[in-house]
Amino acid sequence: MRSLKTRGLSKEVDVFFGTENGGNVFPGATRPYGMVKMGVDIIGSASGNAYSGYANDGFITGISMMHESGTGGAPQYGVVGQLPLVGDIDVGIDNAQQRFANISDEAHVGLYKTHLANGVNVTFAAADRSGVYEYDFPTGSTPNIVINATHHLTAPARPWWTQYFVNGSVEASQDLKSYSGHSAIRGGWGEQGPWTIYFYGEFETAADRVISFLNTTSTEGPLDVSSANQDEAAGLIFRFTSGASVKSRVGISFISVEQAEQNLRNDFEGHNSYDAAHVARETQDLWNDEVFNKVQVSNENSTLVELIYTALYGTHLLPSNRTGENPKWDTGEPYYDDWFTIWDTFRSTLPLFNILQVERASELVRSLIDIYRHDGYMPDGRSANQNGRTQGGSNSDIVLGDAFVKNITGINWEDGYAAMVKNAEVTPPYFYDSFSSDASTKEGRGGLSDWKSLGYISRNFNRSVTRTVEYSYDDFALSVVAEGLGHLDDHNKYLKRSTGWQHLWNSNATVANKDYQGFIQPKNGDGNWATSNYNPVSCGGCYWSDDEYEGSPVEYGWAVPHDVSTLIKFIGDNETVIKRLDDMFKLYGEGYADIGNEPSFLTPYLYNFVNAQHRTTETLRYIVNNKFSIGPKALPGNSDAGAMQSWLFFALIGIYPISSTTTYLLSAPFFEKITMTVGNGKQLEIFTENLSQENYHVQSVEVNGEAWNKNWVTHDDIITNGGSIKFVLGSEPVQWETGPEPPSPGHYDLGLI
């Protein structure tokens, strides 16, 4: 892999990290938050859907300009591509596109190289809104580049969520040196309506011939082709001089063909180059300057170094920066798309941006608010310029809450507050979803009538436990912003509503063979417990029509980070809290929690709330060492647009955020020294003393040079003006934290205990 020269810290990144085993990470060429994500598109893989376009087996159908990373559900995009073919192609592309196995790939940040079974070597690199292809064809062969306007990723394993071609066209220039066109696609996991992408491509040298194809019919002569038939392929074949190397550049736009060409010109201004290596060097410099150089580590363990920079890389692939590329409304605001999904990223990914990428963080929040202004609601999931799916709560509320308490600047907070209030108060228009037809899943809060009248979501609605727990957290975030803006009546109203989860705590619920009781349990609309198909340690299918989404009741019972103090009172005492937390992971107990799904992200840190920080550290060491690794199978589940990587990053540096609060929980770093550029250019230094494989238990802590007896710090302590944390480590746990437990700013006594 080192044969492709890399620059700076980008050399530490393995772009194939998490691409297999359900991680679905995108390994192609892209820039931070890049609109263009160039990658191979594979079908026929034994693993089923190629969610990011990539799979390690199967057949290549194209190398296209747009993808997402780390997603489940169904693939999105895979549009605007090229496919190199060899020989006299005189049949339709339907018969030709599956002939060539993707047999070996080599890649680094910004540059990707694949060798196809037909003997063609392909190297490609992505700029901001364009990309460059280099093809080396076998000596004596006849090179062809296929432009298929109908090309897109499909979901053979989940056809109900597949994408469909709507219409498209492609036209070659008279000199056979360039082409342009559009593709309109619908469908995907978010069940998007039709959307259109425009493209403009050019070759370094003109083709000798152009052949048009429509389904299985090929014709030489016409320079344009179009189709509105989802069952046929339509495009052009550019044929070049025998044995030639072919180079091409392509720009894309959601606005027009003219804008696609302008995007290409802008990206290549100052170097009219078809050199993929040159573009890749620019891309690596961007990654180094904007991301990797902000985190410096001192450690001789090359595996850990690879792990932390690869985690940073995967965290910065989405959302996609499409500022100036919004086809739906004119705006001076930033525009970001591909929020896939905030349900996954609000816990650790967006809080990470509020530390390392404060300007981006401001842009992201401004984009969410602008989407509310024009589309009516902030999204929970969004792709192809359309709000998509809401799995649980309206968790954009928590994104805004976190930005607010961390003083992210440049945001119109009155408009942001209005967007949050709309989520909390206005039932979204009904959007039929065959997987969850009870209430809208597109945006806002489904089942809001229950929330406002009962204080919880009843079993009359799907995902009632998930919605109840998450609406509680959402309303806490809203209460925080309300208080900060001086809306004190609203603050009290939403703080009280943030207790809704307490209505679902059944103190008599039990699990077999356990000497503790009390769990979250769904309720009916009449206030009685819903007992059918209820098991505290199982969520059944854990999907759209179940009570809980991607987590069991015992997992969701811990997912109230704004009011852990009340949860502890429900449980009874600190000893029982520790016993129950021990059962969440295999290190000490049953392993009820799945760190591969986001509801349990905070759970291993909750020992801190009973001043048992050593258990937090032990559990995190166990999870990192047993659930994560390096290489393609590195992740325990979907990357979920970088959520898994951001969780890993925080585990490695020894702090973890509680979103919409200023609190960071302390664990223990994996590195001797970490220097981070945080906030507006400040420095955070994290040191360890006596770190070794055996010495990871905290003996003492200093914050900003002063002895520290709390297992938590605040944003102001270490981020606002920078700061330092020193961990002295040893081989045995000690009770070093004698100060107050982490705060529960959402504490509100409903009198249910």
The answer on pLDDT for 647 being more than 80 is yes
CB 444 within 8 A of CB 371: no
Question: How far from the centroid of its chain's Cα atoms is residue 54's Cα?
Answer: 17
Q: What is the DSSP letter of 209?
A: E
Q: What is the Cα gyration radius of the chain? A: 26
**pLDDT the model gives residue 102:** 53
Q: pLDDT-derived band of residue 270, with 50, 70 and 90 as boundaries? A: confident
| In contact, 466 and 718? CB cutoff 8 Å | no
Residue 486's CB is within 10 A of a number of other CB atoms, namely 8
CA distance 70 to 51: 8
Tell me the C-alpha distance between 214 and 212, whole Å.
Answer: 7
Q: Which two tokens stand for residue 507?
A: 């103190």
Is 637:686 a contact under the CB 8 Å cutoff? no
Q: Which residues pair with 538 in a beta bridge?
A: 535
Q: How confident is the model at residue 575 (pLDDT cuts 50, 70, 90)?
A: very high
Helices (H), 12-100: 93-96
Q: What is the pLDDT of residue 221?
A: 86
Distance CA 75, CA 185 (A): 13
Task: Say what the pLDDT of residue 103 is.
Answer: 57
Q: Name the more confident of 159 and 104.
A: 159
Of 3-12, 61-70, 113-122, the range with the highest mean pLDDT is 61-70
| Beta partners for residue 529, in sequence order | 523
| pLDDT number for residue 90 | 61
On the question of pLDDT at 247 being above 50, the answer is yes
DSSP 549: S
Task: Examine the pLDDT at 91 and tell me if it is beyond 80.
Answer: no
For the residues 695-699, what does the mean pLDDT come to?
99
In this predicted model, what pLDDT tens digit does every residue of 54-64 receive, in sequence order? 998 888 999 99
Which tokens is 225 given?
């082709």
* Residue 122 pLDDT greater than 60, yes or no: yes
DSSP 50: -
Mean local confidence (pLDDT), 12-34: 97
pLDDT digits (tens, 9 = 90+) for 302-355: 999 999 999 999 999 999 999 999 999 999 999 999 999 999 999 999 999 999
Residue 384 has pLDDT above 90, yes or no: yes
- pLDDT (mean) for 294-298: 97
- What pLDDT does residue 632 have? 96
| Angle, alpha carbons 136-139-145 (nearest 5°) | 45
Which residues, in sequence order, are bridge partners of residue 672? none
User: Where do the domains of the chain lie?
Assistant: 39-289, 333-664
Over residues 732-746, mean pLDDT:
98
Pick the CATH number of 333-664 from 1.20.1610.10, 1.10.3720.10, 1.20.140.10, 3.20.19.10: 1.20.1610.10
Work out the average pLDDT over 138-164: 94
- CATH domain 39-289 topology: Beta-galactosidase; Chain A, domain 5 (2.70.98)
Q: For 651-677, what is each residue's pLDDT tens digit? A: 999 999 999 999 999 999 999 999 999
Q: Are 442 and 478 in contact (CB under 8 A)?
A: no
CB 483 within 8 A of CB 558: no
Using omega within 30 degrees of 0 as the cis cutoff, is the peptide bond preceding 379 cis?
no
- 218-222, 400-404, 436-440: segment of lowest average pLDDT: 218-222
**Any idea what the Cα angle at residue 150 is, between residues 227 and 321, rounded to 5°?**
125
Per the listing, tokens 């968790």 go with: 395
CB–CB of 26/42 below 8 Å?
Answer: no
Do 584 and 557 form a contact (C-beta atoms < 8 A)?
Answer: no
Bond preceding residue 219 cis, omega within 30 of 0: no
Dist. CA 60–CA 111, nearest whole Å: 18
88 forms beta bridges with: none
Query: What is the predicted pLDDT for the residue at 339?
Result: 98
Q: How far is CA 659 from CA 449, 560, 561, 720, 736, in A?
A: 26, 11, 8, 16, 26
Least confident among 86-100, 215-229, 610-624, 652-666 = 86-100
Is residue 94 scored above 70 in pLDDT? no
pLDDT grade, residue 6 (50/70/90)? confident
614: tokens are: 């050593």
39-289 and 333-664 share one fold: no
H-helix or E-strand spanning residue 290: helix 276-290
Joined together, the tokens standing for residue 736 give 């070093």
- Whether the CB-CB separation of 112 and 276 falls below 8 Å is answered with no
Please give the Cα distance from 537 to 583 (Å, whole number): 11
Q: What is the model's pTM?
A: 0.97
What mean pLDDT is predicted for residues 14-21? 97
Q: Which residue has the tokens 């959307």?
A: 195
Residue 30 scores a pLDDT above 60: yes
**Strand ranges inside 26-176, DSSP E:** 29-30, 37-43, 59-64, 81-86, 102-108, 111-116, 121-126, 130-136, 143-148, 163-172
